[in-house]
Structure 1
Amino acid sequence: MKSLKRLFAGSIAALALGSGLALAQSYPSKPVRLVVPFPPGGAVDLIARLIQPKMSESLGQPFLIENRPGAAGNVGVESVARGAPDGHTLVINTNGQAISPAIFKKLSWDATDFTPVSQLVASNLILISSPKLQAATVAEFIAIAKAKPGVLNYGGTGVGNPLHLTMELLKLTAGIDIVAVHYQGDAPLFTAMMSGQVEAAVVPLSTALPLVKSGKIRALAMPGARRVSVLPDVPTIAETLPGFESSSWQGLFVPSRTPRDAVDALYRGVVKALAARE
C-alpha cells in the first residue's frame, strides 16, 4: 500500500514538473498584448515602443502595443486585470498603478490583481511654463500666482496621476491657487501651452526636452531631488522650496496568477531589452 502511495505521489510530481517544463518551453505561444493606458506619443508609450522590438526578438513572438487611455490610466489597467493570467496580456504603467487604489473609491481592480514583472525606468519630471507667461523661475511663478489667486491654470493629463499630484503638492507647499485643466495626453497639452492657453504643467522630462531645447516651452525647475545632466542649468524646485521632491517610475505588470515561468521569461526579456544599446 505504501509503495502505491509513493508511486502515486511520484507520478503527480512528475506531471507537475512536466507541465512546468512544457510551459517554460512553449511560452509565449502566441502574440503578446502590451497595453499602454495612455495616448500615443507620451512618456509611457515611448518606453513601450523602445522595449517592444527587443522583447519580441528575445521571446520569439510579436509584442503588440495597444493604447487604451482614460481615467488616469485606469481604463487600460482594468482591461489587463480582467485578462487571462497566461502571460500574454501585460500593462506598462507609472507609479499611478500604486496610487490609484488609494485615491479612487470605485475601482474594479486593486494592487492584488497584478504581479509585477520589473521596473523599467525611474522617470524625471519637469515643471514647465508657457513662454507667454512672464515667469522664468519658480519664485517668479509663485509670485504671479499669489498676485492672481484662481486666475492662472496648469495642464494635466489625468486626475490622480503623478503629474497631477506633483502640481497639487506644489500648490500646497507654495500656498498658491491655480486651476487644473486636463488634456488627453502630452501632445495636446503641449499644443495648448505653446499657444498660451495653459500657463504651467508638470510633465515627463523625456517628452518635454525637445520643446524646451527649441525654446517652444520654458523649463522652470525639476521636481526631483537633484538637477539633471541634460539640463544642468535648470534648478530643482527644492532650491526655492526646501524639502520639495517628487518623481515617477514605470513598470511592467501581468495579471495575478500568471505562472511564475511566464513572469520569469518576461523579466529576462526586459533585462535584455533594457541592456540593448541601439
Structure 2
Amino acid sequence: MPPIQHMPFASFPALVATALGAMRTAGTRKVGRTAAMAALAFSTVFGATCVQAQAYPNRPIKLIVGFPPGGSSDATARLLATALSEKLGQPVVVENKAGANTVIATQYVRSQPADGYTLFSVSSSFAINPALQKLNYNIYKDFTPVALLGVIPLWLVTPNQVPVKSVGELVSLAKAQPGKLAYASYGAGSAGHLASELLLSMTKTNMIHVPYKGTGPAIVDVIGGQVTMMMPTVASSLSLVKEGKLRAIAVSSSKRVSAVPDVPTIAESGVPGFELVAWESIQVAAGTPPAIVFRLNTAIRDIVASPDFREKLIKLGIEPETKMASNDVAKFIRSEAEKFEKIIRERNIKAE
C-alpha cells in the first residue's frame, strides 16, 4: 500500500471499502463488527479532512519571509507566491517579518492557526538557529515541512591579489601563514560561516573569522584584498566573478552548479566528502491537516518542475528540487540541522 500522503483523495473511499471487506472476510462476526466500526470512524474522520482539503484554499494565503525585501530569499518567495496564486486560484501575499536571524518570523508562524493559510519560507537559518540560541520553539514539533524548493550552493572566492587558483593552493598558503590570514562571512552562524569553518576543519588549517553585517560589505573587502577568502552564495557574487573582480575557486555542493559548470566542487578539489549548502523550504505550523500539506507539496513540486520556473530559480542561484514529499523534506532538514550543530559545537561557534 502506498504511503497515505502520496495517494489522491479519491483513492481513500475505495481503500476503506477494500480494507473493511478484507477484515470481515478474515475475521469472526465479532471481529468484523469491531473492524467495521473502526473503519467507519477512520472513513468519517479522513473524509472530513479530504473535504476540508478539497475546499482549500477559499481565501488569501500569507507567505511569511524572515528577511527584509530585496534579498534572494525574498525574491524566491515572491516568485513562488505568484506561481502558487495561479495554481491554487487564491492570492498568495508575501509578508516580510525580518529580525533576529529569522527568529521573529518563526515565532509569528508558530502562533498562527494550523490551517494552511500561513506559509513560511525558510532558509538554512531555520536549522542553524537551534544550535546557536535558546529558542521558545522546536523546529520539529512546532512545524511541518511542506516542500523543498532547492539547494543554494556557495562557492569559495578570493581576491585577484591572492595568488591562488585552487583549493590546494589556498590550503598551502594558509598553512604557510597559520593564524595570519582572514576570511569573511555575511554573519556569525550563517551558512557561509559554517562552510568556511568546515573547510578549515577538514583541511586542518587556521584563519581568522571576520563577520560582516551582510554579503555586500563583506564582498567589498574581499575585492579590496582585506580578507583572503569568503564563501558567499553563487548568485550573490556571480556577476562579480564574471566581471573579473573576484576569482571563483570551487563550489560547496556535492555536484557542479548549473550556472557555473566549469567551476569544480570542493570535494573534487582535494577535500573528499565536503558538502555544505544553503536551501529554501516551505513550512507550516504543526497540526496543519495532512491532506492540505499534501496538496501544497504537490502544487509546489509541479511549479518547480515547470521549465520557466526552474530557469528562474537557476538564475537566482538555486538548484531546483522536485522529488521530495513532505516526509522527505523533514528527513532532509533534520539531517542538515544535525550537520550544522556538529560544526557549531566542534568549532565553538557563537551567535553575534
Structure 2 letter corresponding to 1:170: L
Structure holding more helix per residue: 2
Q: Is residue 132 of structure 2 the alignment partner of residue 104 of structure 1?
A: yes
TM-score, normalization by structure 2: 0.66
Q: Is residue 110 of structure 2 the alignment partner of residue 90 of structure 1?
A: no
What is the rounded CA distance, in whole Å, between the counterparts of 2:266 and 2:219 in structure 1?
A: 21
Aligned to 1:117: 146
Structure 2 letter corresponding to 1:34: L
- Offset of 1:99 from its aligned partner? 3.9
2:280 aligns with one of 250, 253, 260: 250
- Offset of 1:38 from its aligned partner? 3.3
Structure holding more strand per residue: 1
What is the rounded CA distance, in whole Å, between the counterparts of 2:88 and 2:297 in structure 1?
A: 11
Contact 1:42 1:187 in 2 (8 A): no
Residue 112 of structure 1 aligns to a residue whose secondary structure is coil
- Offset of 1:177 from its aligned partner? 2.3
1:238 aligns with one of 264, 267, 292: 267
What is the rounded CA distance, in whole Å, between the counterparts of 1:133 and 1:160 in structure 2?
A: 26
Structure 2 letter corresponding to 1:217: L
- Offset of 1:71 from its aligned partner? 4.0
Worse overlay, 147-156 or 56-65: 147-156
Unaligned runs of 5+ in 2: 1-37, 309-352
Aligned to 1:167: 196
- Offset of 1:138 from its aligned partner? 1.9
User: Per-residue CA shift, 1:214-237, capped at 9, x if unaligned?
Assistant: 222220112223433533332222
- Offset of 1:127 from its aligned partner? 1.1
What is the rounded CA distance, in whole Å, between the counterparts of 1:138 and 1:10 in structure 2?
A: 61
Contact 1:223 1:237 in 2 (8 A): yes
What is the rounded CA distance, in whole Å, between the counterparts of 1:10 and 1:134 in structure 2?
A: 71
1:36 aligns with one of 44, 65, 79: 65
Aligned to 1:4: none
Q: Is residue 249 of structure 2 the alignment partner of residue 220 of structure 1?
A: yes
What is the rounded CA distance, in whole Å, between the counterparts of 1:61 and 1:191 in structure 2?
A: 42
Contact 2:267 2:275 in 1 (8 A): no
Q: 1:10 to 1:205 in 2, by over 3 A?
A: closer
Residue 91 of structure 1 aligns to a residue whose secondary structure is strand
Worse overlay, 113-122 or 128-137: 128-137
- Offset of 1:271 from its aligned partner? 2.0
What is the rounded CA distance, in whole Å, between the counterparts of 2:290 and 2:256 in structure 1?
A: 39
TM-score, normalization by structure 1: 0.81
Aligned to 2:168: 139
User: Per-residue CA shift, 1:175-210, capped at 9, x if unaligned?
Assistant: 222222333443443344334444322122233322
Q: Is residue 96 of structure 2 the alignment partner of residue 63 of structure 1?
A: no
- Offset of 1:91 from its aligned partner? 1.8
Contact 2:250 2:269 in 1 (8 A): no
Unaligned runs of 5+ in 1: 1-8
Q: 1:47 to 1:257 in 2, by over 3 A?
A: same
Q: Is residue 228 of structure 2 the alignment partner of residue 181 of structure 1?
A: no
Q: Which runs of 4+ in 1 moved over 6 A?
A: 9-15
Aligned to 1:5: none
Contact 2:67 2:73 in 1 (8 A): yes
- Offset of 1:118 from its aligned partner? 1.1
Worse overlay, 161-170 or 190-199: 190-199
Matches within 5 A, 1:43-82: 43-82=72-111
RMSD: 3.1
Aligned to 2:185: 156
Contact 2:199 2:274 in 1 (8 A): no
Q: Percent identity?
A: 36
Residue 140 of structure 1 aligns to a residue whose secondary structure is helix
Q: 1:261 to 1:175 in 2, by over 3 A?
A: same
Aligned length: 270
Q: 1:262 to 1:226 in 2, by over 3 A?
A: closer
